[in-house]
Amino acid sequence: MNVEAPTYSPLDPRREHNARHIFSSAARDLILQAVSAGWRESEAAMALADAADDYILYLAQKPTRKLMAANSN
């Protein structure tokens, strides 16, 4: 799965909408792939939501951790 690069700079308020659009599309594609592999749509969606929640908790536990995109976006 390919994820598009951000269209806007980190300080541009349109970046959040851009990210939501890109990641919603990526999530839908991933869920459809899971359904094609035999998973039920609801369980794939819940598993993806749980994984996202787990990652948010991981980020919250690392306050000094600073990730930066390779292209400084």
Angstrom distance (rounded) from CA 31 to CA 50: 13
Half-sphere exposure (Cβ direction) of 68: Cα atoms closer than 13 Å: 5
pLDDT higher than threshold 70 for residue 67: no
Q: Give the model's confidence band at 73: pLDDT under 50 very low, under 70 low, under 90 confident, else very high.
A: low
30: three-class secondary structure by DSSP: helix
Question: Which CA distances in Å does 52 have to 27, 36, 41, 58, 62?
Answer: 11, 21, 17, 10, 16
Give the tens place of pLDDT for each residue, 5-62: 999 999 999 999 999 999 999 999 999 999 999 999 999 999 999 999 999 998 888 7
